[in-house]
């Protein structure tokens, strides 16, 4: 990996950390935070490989004890708690968003981006997060779905839109994802 890619990865790990300082809203065992916005941005701006590595790097920083998660949490505790599934789903989410963004790069706009972010940032995260939450807290499916997913849909839809809008501006002014090879001759 080139030093430039390494710097981008480190930058987005830092961005996710800084988004954690925005106030989080505790609603039951899983809080609403701005950090998933950072996860979506990492995928949408850096692409699949670098995006997922950025999220992974952020999780390493948390695991070694830096209080970087929303609400000042850090260490290995969060990886054993009710939010463990969400944390572990983040690199996957960034990877899926990144790959889909790369695929749709030539016709990327706010709408396409929002859809991509919904698939990677909402479907993937809930698919991993809710079962783990249910297992750790011992809630029935209905309640696990309510406190672990349904509550977050409005906020996450908004975050998906915000990440797409920002990624779209970055795409036009400072593209980090390379254009797909097959389209190279069209311009």
**What is the contact surface with other proteins in residues (CB under 8 A)?**
1-4, 6-11, 13-15, 17-18, 21, 23-24, 26-28, 41, 45, 57-58, 60-61, 64-67, 71-77, 80-81, 162, 165-166, 169-170, 173-174, 176
Query: Least Å distance between CB 61 and other proteins?
Result: 6
Cα separation, 120 vs 170, whole angstroms: 19
76 vs 111 by CB, closer to other proteins: 76
Cα separation, 141 vs 138, whole angstroms: 9
Query: Least Å distance between CB 34 and other proteins?
Result: 12
* Exposed / middle / buried, residue 122 (Cβ in 10 Å: 0-12, 13-18, 19+): buried
Q: Which residue has the tokens 């890619």?
A: 5
Query: Least Å distance between CB 79 and other proteins?
Result: 9
Query: Least Å distance between CB 152 and other proteins?
Result: 16
Distance set, CA 136 to CA 81, 152, 153 (Å):
7, 19, 22
Cα separation, 75 vs 10, whole angstroms: 19
Query: Least Å distance between CB 4 and other proteins?
Result: 4
67 vs 154 by CB, closer to other proteins: 67
Q: Which residues are CB-neighbours of 14 under 8 A, at least 6 positions away?
A: none
Kindly give the interhelix angle for 48-63 and 84-103, rounded to the nearest 10 degrees: 160
11 vs 112 by CB, closer to other proteins: 11
123 vs 150 by CB, closer to other proteins: 150
18 vs 135 by CB, closer to other proteins: 18
């Amino acid at each position: 990996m080139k030093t430039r890619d390494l710097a981008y990865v480190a930058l987005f790990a830092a961005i996710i950390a800084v988004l954690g300082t925005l106030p989080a809203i505790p609603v039951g065992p899983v809080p609403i935070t701005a950090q998933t916005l950072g996860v979506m941005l990492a995928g949408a701006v850096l692409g699949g490989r670098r995006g997922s590595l950025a999220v992974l790097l952020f999780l390493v920083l948390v695991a070694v004890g830096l209080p970087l998660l929303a609400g000042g949490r850090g260490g290995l505790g969060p990886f054993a708690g009710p939010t463990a599934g969400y944390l572990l789903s983040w690199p996957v989410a960034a990877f899926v968003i990144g790959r889909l963004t790369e695929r749709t790069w030539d016709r990327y706009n706010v709408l396409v981006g929002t859809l991509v972010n919904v698939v990677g940032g909402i479907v993937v995260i809930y698919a991993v997060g809710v079962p783990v939450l249910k297992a750790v807290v011992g809630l029935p499916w209905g309640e696990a779905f309510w406190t672990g997913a349904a509550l977050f849909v409005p906020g996450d839809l908004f975050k998906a839109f915000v990440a797409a809008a920002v990624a779209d501006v970055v795409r036009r002014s400072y593209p980090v994802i390379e254009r797909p090879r097959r389209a190279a001759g069209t311009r």
